[in-house]
Amino acid sequence: MSERNSWPVVLGLTITAKRELHQRDPEDSDEQTIPRLKLTPEALEALEREVGEPFPSDFHDFLLHADGWEGVYYDLDLFGSRELRGGGRWPIAKELLDIYTEEGVMEALRLDPKGVMPVAAGDGTDLVLLIRPGWENAGEVVWIIGGQQYIRAEDYKAFVEFIMTQLQS
């Protein structure tokens, strides 16, 4: 198995892809945003205590390199401490999780609403869920758009790498 890119490389390539997309098509590309400053190990430990559980390793490592990223892909925000404490698009994510649960989307995707944590959301119907530790397929990331699974990534880094490839195409 080949060695994976580090978080600094993945984040740098994503920033570059956003910039190149904007240069190619300024009318149709998204706003030029960059990740927020990373959490310190102490701040991350405190956040995990607040949330009540440790995060899967890739999400944990992401937060040690970027405390979220607003507008990473058009209106999609990657959650950091602000959102995980209820700010930003967290209310949208919680509402979408409730709607997708009521509409049977979660059951159809074989996801238990108690076994997932929102880790990204947009203004529309985009909801990204991380499967919590201790649940089947823990660490996987599921991106739902309009009640349909868009992608299912093996972990949080693979999800961010997917966004990077979408920006590059």
CATH number, position 30:
3.40.1580.10
- Structural domain includes residue 63: yes
Query: What's the pLDDT at 27?
Result: 78
- Structural domain includes residue 98: yes
- Structural domain includes residue 59: yes
Q: Is there a contact between 81 and 47 (Cβ–Cβ < 8 Å)?
A: yes
What is the domain range of residue 150?
7-168
Helix or strand holding residue 169 (H, E): none
Query: What's the pLDDT at 91?
Result: 98
Query: Which residues on neighbouring strands pair with residue 78, listed in sequence order?
Result: 69, 120
Residue 5 DSSP symbol = P
Q: Is there a contact between 146 and 109 (Cβ–Cβ < 8 Å)?
A: no
**pLDDT band for position 1 (50/70/90)?**
very low
